[in-house]
Amino acid sequence: MGRKIYIEGKFVPEDEARVSVFDHGLLYGDGVFEGIRVYNRRVFMLDAHLKRLYNGAKVIRLDIPVTPDELKEKVCETVRVNDISDGYVRLVVTRGKGDLGLSPSKCSDPNIIIIADTIKIYPDEVYHKGLKLVTVSTRRNNPDSLSPQIKSLNYLNHILAHLEVLHAGADEGLVLNDNGFVTECVVDNFYIVLDGAVITPPTNSGALNGITRMVVFQLCRDLGIEIREEQLSLVECYTADECFLTGTAAEIAPVTFIDDRPIGPDGTPGPVTIKLMEAFKEFRENHGTPID
């Protein structure tokens, strides 16, 4: 049986879910979204995801037609309807149907779409052997042009970078900003470990303040691991003791090669990364909004 999709205020079978060809989310990438995990029948960090969604919508002057509490219940209901115990939710708010002109003023009814399904980005062996990264030539959008804190439907910058990763036969890519510093991976936040401290690029350099990134900061504080934001050059990444990335779908995954250079003494996941991976597994099982 196919999934039930929440769209236009009701649940419909996935093969009947439709958006208008005049929806400005389709025509112009005008809208916002969140990717959210479900663990043990709990929607992980749902309040944080909704806060970011509403903040992004506010910036682009998109009025979400329901309250955060109402949307929270709809997300949980979508997970329940699809009987998802461990999975992934894609929550999308588009500007809605307009005309072929650019102006959002012609769009009067924003469209809320909620999809609940399962997801697996990397095979299990990656979490034991690590990921291979390449540096891509596509630069991250300048934050002064499009803030990385807005998870907009316009993902072409990320797609162009991902095409380079596919062509190189790698697992993920490092994306630089206009000044040549690392911002993040194509769709994940990036970290190095140096002398026992975790270092990650600052959000004002072009990195998204990811929800899993927030959890890593909390876990580091709980575990007594120093964590700080600093601009990172490729040289610092190549010579780090450990590297890892985080994301809603990827969780915490070790990085063992960058541009064919082994990370650490032998190109295997390091102790700080492993400690954080284990702590995250425990954290995720006990945090979240119950769907039942």
Residues involved in catalysis: 151
Task: Let me know: does 74 contact 6? Beta carbons within 8 Å.
Answer: yes
Q: Which residues 6+ apart lie within 8 Å of 188 measured at CB? A: 172, 210, 245, 246, 247, 250, 253
Phi then psi for 90, rounded to 5 degrees? -110, 115
Task: Let me know: does 252 contact 212? Beta carbons within 8 Å.
Answer: yes
Residue with tokens 């969780």: 251
Task: Let me know: does 44 contact 35? Beta carbons within 8 Å.
Answer: no
The length of the chain is 292
Q: How far is CA 4 from CA 71, 114, 118, 128, 161, in A?
A: 17, 9, 13, 35, 32
Question: CB-hemisphere CA count at 13 Å for 69?
Answer: 0
